[in-house]
Amino acid sequence: MSQNFDFHKTTMPESRKADYYLCCLDSSVFIDFNSSAENEISLVRISFDGFGCCNLDEKAKKLSPKESLKFIKEMKQNKLNQESITELVKKAIKINKEFIWTDALERYKLIEQE
């Protein structure tokens, strides 16, 4: 793992609905995930300091069933395994990068530059 994003669980106001909330990079980035009825995890919203909030909603691509299970298991832990959660978050971002601002992802190093 090249960068420590320091992912941690957080909460959001009732107006920002999601099943799971993560924060990273000293509270500069907030990432919201939902779980489907089949327990498949999807990235629904990501907000960046200096860029704003990017809503993916229904167009978001889901993590695989195996990755989703790993994500749910990780989110049940008191302390997140940084290597594991970083891998899962970056995968969710990568499969949905067409819906997220590239300049924000690159600035915060949440995606590899191509």
Q: For residues 33 and 20, is the Cβ–Cβ distance under 8 A?
A: yes
For the segment 11-15, the average pLDDT, to the nearest whole number, is 90
Q: For residues 42 and 63, is the Cβ–Cβ distance under 8 A?
A: yes
73: enclosing H helix or E strand: helix 65-75
Residue 3 CA to residue 12 CA, distance in Å, equals 25
Sorting pLDDT into bands at 50, 70 and 90, what band is 1? very low
Exposure class string for 61-99: b at 16+ Cβ within 10 A, else e? ebbeeebbebbbebbeeeebeeebbbbbbbebbebbeeb
Question: pTM to 2 decimals?
Answer: 0.93
The structural domains of the chain, with segments of one domain joined by +, span 8-107
